[in-house]
Structure 1
Amino acid sequence: MNAPKSPKTFHVKSYGCQMNVYDGERMAELLGAQGMTASDAATADLVVLNTCHIRERATEKVYSEIGRLKHREEAPAPMIAVAGCVAQAEGEEIARRTKIDVVVGPQAYHNLPELVSQAASGTLALDTDMPAIAKFGALPKRRKVSPSAFLTVQEGCDKFCTYCVVPYTRGAEISRPFATIVDEAKALVDAGAKEITLLGQNVNAWDDENGTGLHGLIVALDKIDGLKRIRYTTSHPNDMREGLIRAHAEVESLMPYLHLPVQAGSDRILKAMNRSHTRDSYLRILERVRAVRPDIALSGDFIVGFPGETDAEFEDTLSLIDEVRYAASFSFKYSPRPGTPAAEMTDGFVPAAVMDERLKRLQAAIARDQAAFNAATLGKTCEVLLERPGKLPGQLIGKSPWLQSVHLMTDAKIGDLVEVEIVRADPNSLAGVETAKAAA
């Protein structure tokens, strides 16, 4: 049975990075502004698959999801829109093979309502244009958000790492205007946000014609009444400027957490990746950050099995992990992305079994350090921003300043900042007691 010609309900499913989560929220707001009602994927008239091309087998996952939707049992097959980076890179081919209804790239999703209307007439609706930041002006104003909200300030990438498709799917680095960001941040706070995470493919490359830099933007946002916490991700080592480092000491609302991907610990592999930093320059940045904010939680990204990576070069990555002691990390096996220079590096592919073994060892080292970081918070007192219900009656889950999940029994409500003593430290989360209760 064909999908409804004019969908009345929708579901947006986002994969991958936090920027995709932000984009998915904005697409949902666009569709809601057209009078459509949010539903679940099992019954919605329209399902938007907001894809990420960074993760392994991204395209295959899209085909699998489309197949499930076309043969779902709960309701007739929906109208299907593929959005995001996979749509940008391979959307026409996906549309040809699966006969989906809408293809929209990450820089064109502000046109989604018009594309859905076009698809309702039975015509494939495709838009993979890449205008700079036109979409932000076309998006509806934020009305209601969770206590912790995302805010995209920068998009695209000029770094051209040899393994990465972002410059081809998101375009060149572009910064949103200062005043626009401040206005949206104020609107988020008015809508209920206590914490804002600034997003960008290279978020610390954000700047304006006045040379404000991300540190200056953070200082300005810190002045917004009601905004209690600021975070930012993802950063590139080359854009970690002195002002931003100092902000970690000088801006109280800037949380003690830094996600700074390194990808590998071998200088030869870093050069092959076109990362533009060395092991030593990366470590010196971390030294400077820790000097101004000794309690900072550090997070990184790692790729194992990049073409030509030797056993010794992988050991260099493990030794870097041992030296840094990350509080968290994301790690992946290398997988070639069509159109990237690394995909043409046909010599020196690392066997799958070797990559599996390396990833297992790397993740074990990261898990060890994450557990140690969590254990070091045992007995500490900190503020926790309550974000969602827990599994038990009266239990809420929030985030510590170091981005750890904290469970506690409380009479407070979602959106409150409560002072908590950490009474249990597990490898992946913490348990706390409100200090007033702990003293009772």
Structure 2
Amino acid sequence: MRFYIKTFGCQMNERDSEKVEAILFENNWQQVENPEDADLIIVNSCAVREKAENKLYSELGRLKFINPKAKIVAMGCVAQINYEKLKHIADIVIGTNTIDRFYDIARDKSKNGVFILDKMTDPDHIFPHTSRISAFVDIMYGCNNFCSYCIVPYTRGREISRNKDAIIEEIKQLIDKGTKEVMLLGQNVNSFENSKNYRFVDLLYDINKLDGLKRIRFTTSHPKDFSKELALAIRDLDKLCEHLHLPFQSGSDRILKLMKRGYTKEQYLSKALMYREIVKEGSITTDIIVGFPSETQQDFLQTVEVLKTVEFETSFSFKYSKRPLTRAANMDNQVDEEEKLKRLNYLQKLQADITQKKLKAYEGKTIEVLVEGQSKKHNGFSGRCRQNIVVNLEFRDNITEGKIANVVITKALKHSLVGKVQGQ
């Protein structure tokens, strides 16, 4: 039996798709690159923006047209909330909390239907992996923040922290298979809690003790919960990479309050600059929304000020998108699309200039790079440095996947670096 899978969305969606692939592989299914060759077609959906949701419906229609004989599965965030609509399009609809249904599908026992649960029955279940060098590991699921623009609490449910022993065991299994780096996943990793006396930082210290593991990353931190203790862990733990993703979304206190973000501009800046001071060689990235309902030019300029003050290595900026079930969708004074685009273009141009300056500063330096495999855009291998910047390697001699190499940076590109392994 053959399957094709298409994934939209974030790292959580990527990990969910990997779970599906691994389950099917373990049951002797073959993955194909052409959907016309598949017996089973799976589309994993994202609902964080309207554009991403529309892509799902468009893709399902296209795939059904080119391969009408295949069984179609719609899964993911859109499936979790719009299953009534999707059940008329797809043969099987699987929500974010029912990925274990793929064990039945893999054995060709699952009937057509809708499989949706409000919460996971077994969050500590260790799903298989297909990744080799670097692997995603869920440490928690869901979100309790209910930001007024965000649909995630409705698509992923309330927060559930996995048991620390299950997390450690999963990572040990990965190490035994040759994994060098783990990326710990959660909508807000700072909220991880096994008990009042065991929090996210405690988990990081325990993972750091594991023999054979070379690197630890995590995403995402929420500013209201980010602490000096976590910044010190990033500085002090030898396996924990010096990179922090800390979304600020807006620089306007008025907009932040409407967003229900739980912090002010000054509180965010205090934490971001505290991280810069403690982690001297660290990088920091962020998320930004422009054009939130009632955002004025003055509000937007406050966002620009944060960008200029922190000088993020990169930022992921988006136009505000109305999402069903969220409070912001019904707010007055929605900003028109033309103005949103104007602000977004300005912000992205500013960030591009900052990013280029940051990358140029690496030229001539020697940095540690984990070689991940063949570069997608360059003739050679590529990997990431501890600051989470892609590094393309000039020469292939004596380089293998999974190797950690000292690399001399020879050139800064638009979004990445070029370098050669020291001694070659």
The answer on whether the counterparts of 1:108 and 1:135 sit within 8 Å (CA) in structure 2 is: no
The answer on whether the counterparts of 1:116 and 1:125 sit within 8 Å (CA) in structure 2 is: no
2-structure distance, mates of 1:383, 1:164 = 36
Pick aligned residue for 2:118 from 112, 116, 130: 130
Residue 318 of structure 2 aligns with an amino acid whose one-letter code is F
SS of equivalent residue, structure 1 residue 159: coil
2-structure distance, mates of 1:133, 1:178 = 17
Query: What pairs up with 1:41-440 in 2 under 5 angstroms?
Result: 41-42=34-35, 43-72=37-66, 76-96=68-88, 98=89, 100-114=90-104, 124-132=112-120, 134-137=122-125, 139-142=126-129, 144-209=130-195, 211-345=197-331, 347-390=332-375, 395-408=380-393, 409-411=395-397, 412-437=399-424
CA displacement at 1:364 relative to structure 2: 0.8
2-structure distance, mates of 1:268, 1:46 = 48
Identity %: 38
| Cα 1:392/1:157, change in 2 over 3 Å | closer
Deviations 1:164-223 (A, max 9, x none): 011111111111001110110111111221111100011121111252211111111111
| Cα 1:413/1:105, change in 2 over 3 Å | same
CA displacement at 1:50 relative to structure 2: 0.9
2-structure distance, mates of 1:140, 1:404 = 28
1-structure distance, mates of 2:5, 2:366 = 38
CA displacement at 1:419 relative to structure 2: 0.8
1-structure distance, mates of 2:59, 2:400 = 36
Residue 265 of structure 1 aligns with an amino acid whose one-letter code is G
The answer on whether the counterparts of 2:373 and 2:381 sit within 8 Å (CA) in structure 1 is: yes
Deviations 1:236-258 (A, max 9, x none): 01221332121012101111110
CA displacement at 1:385 relative to structure 2: 0.7
SS of equivalent residue, structure 1 residue 239: coil
The answer on whether the counterparts of 1:305 and 1:350 sit within 8 Å (CA) in structure 2 is: yes
1-structure distance, mates of 2:344, 2:307 = 13
Residue 202 of structure 2 aligns with an amino acid whose one-letter code is G
The answer on whether the counterparts of 1:27 and 1:112 sit within 8 Å (CA) in structure 2 is: yes
Residue 417 of structure 2 aligns with an amino acid whose one-letter code is L
Residue 61 of structure 1 aligns with an amino acid whose one-letter code is K
2-structure distance, mates of 1:273, 1:394 = 44
1-structure distance, mates of 2:301, 2:379 = 46
Root-mean-square deviation over aligned CA pairs = 1.8
2-structure distance, mates of 1:160, 1:432 = 43
2-structure distance, mates of 1:393, 1:361 = 29
SS of equivalent residue, structure 2 residue 84: helix
Deviations 1:316-374 (A, max 9, x none): 101110101010111110111011101111x2110110001000001111111111111
2-structure distance, mates of 1:415, 1:20 = 24
2-structure distance, mates of 1:391, 1:178 = 35
SS of equivalent residue, structure 1 residue 238: coil
CA displacement at 1:113 relative to structure 2: 3.5
The answer on whether the counterparts of 2:370 and 2:384 sit within 8 Å (CA) in structure 1 is: yes
The answer on whether the counterparts of 2:375 and 2:381 sit within 8 Å (CA) in structure 1 is: yes
| Cα 1:56/1:297, change in 2 over 3 Å | farther
Indicate yes or no: 2:28 matched with 1:32: no
Q: More deviation in 162-171 or 206-215?
A: 206-215
Residue 414 of structure 1 aligns with an amino acid whose one-letter code is E
CA displacement at 1:55 relative to structure 2: 3.0
2-structure distance, mates of 1:126, 1:34 = 22
Residue 407 of structure 1 aligns with an amino acid whose one-letter code is N
CA displacement at 1:95 relative to structure 2: 2.0
CA displacement at 1:289 relative to structure 2: 1.2
SS of equivalent residue, structure 2 residue 49: coil
Residue 335 of structure 1 aligns with an amino acid whose one-letter code is S
TM-score normalised by structure 2 residue count = 0.95
Q: More deviation in 295-304 or 388-397?
A: 388-397
Extract unaligned runs of 5+ from structure 2.
none
Residue 54 of structure 1 aligns with an amino acid whose one-letter code is V
CA displacement at 1:112 relative to structure 2: 2.4
SS of equivalent residue, structure 1 residue 277: coil
SS of equivalent residue, structure 1 residue 436: coil
SS of equivalent residue, structure 1 residue 232: strand
